[in-house]
Amino acid sequence: MHTLRIFQSEWLKTRRSLASWLVIIGGLFTPVIIFLIRIRRPHELPPIYQSPNFWQTVWNQSWESMAMFMFPMGIIMATGLITQLEFKNNAWKQLHTTPQRLTTIYGMKLFIVLVMLTQVFIAFNVFMYLFSVLPVALVRDVRYPTAHLDWLLFLRGNFSYFIDCLPIVGLQFLLGMHFKNFLVPFGLGFLLWIASLTGMTWEYNYILPYSYSMQDFLVNTGRKIPVNADIHVFAAIYFVVFVAVGYGMYIGKNEKG
Amino acid sequence: MYAIETHDLTYRFPRGLGSSLVPRFDSSAPPVLNNVSLRVPEGSIYGFLGPNGAGKTTTLRLILGLLKKQHGSISILGKHFPEERISVLREIGSLIESPSLYGHLTAQENLIIYQKIFDAPQKRIREVLDLVGLSNTGTKKASEFSLGMKQRLGLAVALINQPRLLILDEPTNGLDPNGIIEMRELLKQLQREQGITILISSHLLSEIEKLVTHIGIINSGSIAFQGTLEELMNKREQGANIVLETSDKEATMRVLEQMHIRATAEHQSVVLPFVHRDTIANIARNLVQSNIALYGIERRNDDLETIFMNVIK
């Protein structure tokens, strides 16, 4: 019960925050853009909607921008904003004088970030579906897709991308908890994302912690990049290492607010 | 029993970043705190005074565990700190420097955050809002509050868990005179009605002399005075003077010399150390008998601020 109350307390801090708006925007942005592009040429839609690969096409189109840009940058920003809530409001000192173990404070903040990431995934999938079928209601002659919607395949795909994002969460959380200035985690995150993008064709690309969602997308859509290791294993290891180092730095801080 | 008791607290700031994994301390640098032994009696309002940079906030941060203790011991409400950190913090309310408020949330939402953590009853939110006079702020966000309102909300946060001990670091900073009086009355009421021990820091004695029962004065990291307000007042008595205004300073000095009273001549008057009132009557009689016109006898006390300045010299 106590853990639940602490979760509720932390969750309340995200209400009306920029991070909570990012969840909605992050989930909505790509499906809306794809929808707007589609309805600009309504006459081309009927055959597309009757294609046997309709859902696979929607999935790939939607994930292209998400995997390459929106998710990495969204996580960099949202994680920074969550950790900044305490710095910005000068609230670390008050939080650290509440009867909670430091492990609880650290763990709960990380959990909040992961819950928000899950929210983005859910919002993105729901909006992807809704904006895909919206033309059925708006455009004449467009019928509901006949292609089979393989929910299980999409679920597995989501899980895979979720794992890919974990190293970004881990490192951004570490930086966000450590640096008071928002620009430091944001700037470093942005540089690492650029480095990952640049190193995509490198034979050791699997060591680049911010590259996994991009690699996953490129491999799934048949692009040729070197695949020399299981990136999900690397992603999980990076996440654990970043979280553990971040925890050590947090606990070892001499000044707590 | 003491609500707070520290022994020989000594603290040096780490070199470079205070947040590195293994903080390095410069043992050659003078300590920010030097063997600070604070004793805050239970049920008291303890004024912790000192000029800016004297070590007040550092002491309070150590007591609350916001800084890592390096040397000495801390006991709060009979428990060792930080060994029994969780159970101690459950009984403390604090407001350190500026209030920690989430600007995008309302007063009520800010309080819910802490009500959940402390597992305080829901009705406590209404109680503390009424107590600090913020019950009608509705949907107004904390970032839109005036400084005085923020300070009061900070106090409400500190009170949400019905603490036995309240630690307030310069809570009147930025408040207008009316706000200072309101805050003072509120703290008196809390101590009177709920028996809360209050440790309040300030750099202005005049600001808290009407509030406190005990006083500790810190200067350059060391405790310069600690005791009741009465003891500090006695110091004032000891420092008091009698001022005589007469028609002839030299003749007055001679009369006093005959009475074995050491005095000094000032511009228009003669100043002597505080003496018993019977002696004052004798002085007046002798002056009149010596044909010296006596225009006035005045008792001059050092104000508390002067005593404070003398203590920290």
pLDDT score for B180 = 87
Number of domains comprising chain B: 2
| B297 and B251 both lie in a single domain | yes
B→A interface, C-beta within 8 Å: 14, 18-23, 61, 64-68, 85-87, 89-90, 92, 94, 96-98, 100-105, 109, 112-114, 116-119, 157
| B47 and B170 both lie in a single domain | yes
pLDDT score for B18 = 46
| B10 and B77 both lie in a single domain | yes
| B169 and B302 both lie in a single domain | no
Residue B139 lies in a domain: no
What is the residue range of B257's domain? 239-312
Q: For A53, phi and psi rounded to 5 degrees?
A: -100, 20
Q: In sequence order, what are the beta bridge partners of B169? A: B96, B201
Query: Do residues A228 and A86 touch, judged by C-beta distance below 8 A?
Result: no
pLDDT in tens, B133-143: 999 998 999 99
Residue B124 lies in a domain: no
| B12 and B87 both lie in a single domain | yes
Residues of A in contact with B118 (CB under 8 A): 98-99
Write the CATH number for B173: 3.40.50.300
Backbone torsion region of residue B93, taken as left when φ is above 0, otherwise alpha when ψ lies between -120 and 50, otherwise beta: beta
Higher pLDDT among residues B17 and A254, named by residue: A254
CA distance A98 to A13: 16
Residue B295 lies in a domain: yes
pLDDT in tens, A23-55: 999 999 999 999 999 999 998 999 999 999 999
A168 CA: distance to closest CA in chain B (Å):
22
| B171 and B306 both lie in a single domain | no
| B6 and B82 both lie in a single domain | yes
| B222 and B285 both lie in a single domain | no
Burial class (CB in 10 A: 0-12, 13-18, 19+), A216: buried
| B285 and B183 both lie in a single domain | no
| B224 and B244 both lie in a single domain | no
What is the residue range of A155's domain? 2-252
| B10 and B85 both lie in a single domain | yes
How many other C-beta atoms are found inside a 10 Å radius of the C-beta of residue B105? Answer: 21
pLDDT score for B299 = 82
Number of domains comprising chain A: 1
CA distance B250 to A91: 66
ipTM, two decimals: 0.90
Q: Look over chain B and give the mean of its residue pLDDT values, rounded to a whole number.
A: 89
| Cα within 13 Å of Cα(B111), Cβ side | 31
Whether residues A100 and B21 touch (CB distance < 8 A) is answered with no
Rounded (5°) CA angle B26-B22-B79? 90
| Cα within 13 Å of Cα(A88), Cβ side | 16
Residue B109 lies in a domain: no
Residue A26 lies in a domain: yes
Confidence band of B303 (pLDDT split at 50, 70, 90): low
Indicate whether B188 pLDDT > 70.
yes
Query: Do residues B39 and B74 touch, judged by C-beta distance below 8 A?
Result: no
A227 CA: distance to closest CA in chain B (Å):
36
Lowest-confidence region among A130-139, A168-177, A219-228, B154-163: A219-228
Residue B217 lies in a domain: yes
Residue A257 lies in a domain: no
Residue B140 lies in a domain: no
